[in-house]
């Protein structure tokens, strides 16, 4: 399809397990973003890629969170040793421009992955 695709849509894991969430951005989009959205809250910034370079990871809540985008297209967000507070919807967004042009390019969002940690 033409939009941002995320998989899986739903993920249930036991506390302590590792999980990996995938994002396929819109083809040709330079910028890719991950957000965490807790219940009743707005999306919170996690990290930002420009092509394969991770330019900002200051929003990652702990060193258990790791994101990569090795070929500048698909990105994976990995959470190690999951905790109950990691339960949230994880949103991926992409935009056409690079960092210098970002502010003029709106972000296009995927449907998100709803992660539940038992």
Contact footprint for another protein (CB under 8 A):
3-4, 33, 35, 40-45, 48, 55-56, 59, 91, 93, 99, 102-104, 106-112
For residue 19, give the nearest of 104, 98, 113 by alpha carbon.
113
Closer residue to another protein, CB minimum distance, 82 or 95: 95
Q: What is the residue whose two structure tokens read 């939009």? A: 3
CB of 15 to another protein, least distance (A): 27
User: Which lies closer to another protein via its Cβ, residue 87 or residue 105?
Assistant: 105
Secondary structure percentages of the chain, helix, strand, coil, to 5? 5, 45, 50
């Amino acid at each position: 399809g033409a939009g941002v695709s995320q998989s899986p849509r739903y993920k249930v894991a036991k506390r302590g397990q590792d999980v990996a969430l995938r994002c396929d951005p819109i083809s040709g989009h330079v910028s890719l973003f991950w957000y965490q959205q807790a219940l009743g809250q707005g999306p919170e910034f996690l990290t930002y890629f420009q092509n394969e370079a991770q330019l900002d990871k200051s929003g990652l809540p702990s060193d258990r969170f790791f994101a990569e985008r090795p070929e500048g297209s698909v990105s994976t967000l990995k959470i190690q040793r999951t905790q109950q507070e990691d339960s949230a919807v994880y949103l991926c967004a992409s935009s056409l421009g690079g960092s210098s042009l970002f502010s003029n390019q709106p972000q296009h969002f995927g449907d998100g992955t709803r992660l539940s940690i038992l």
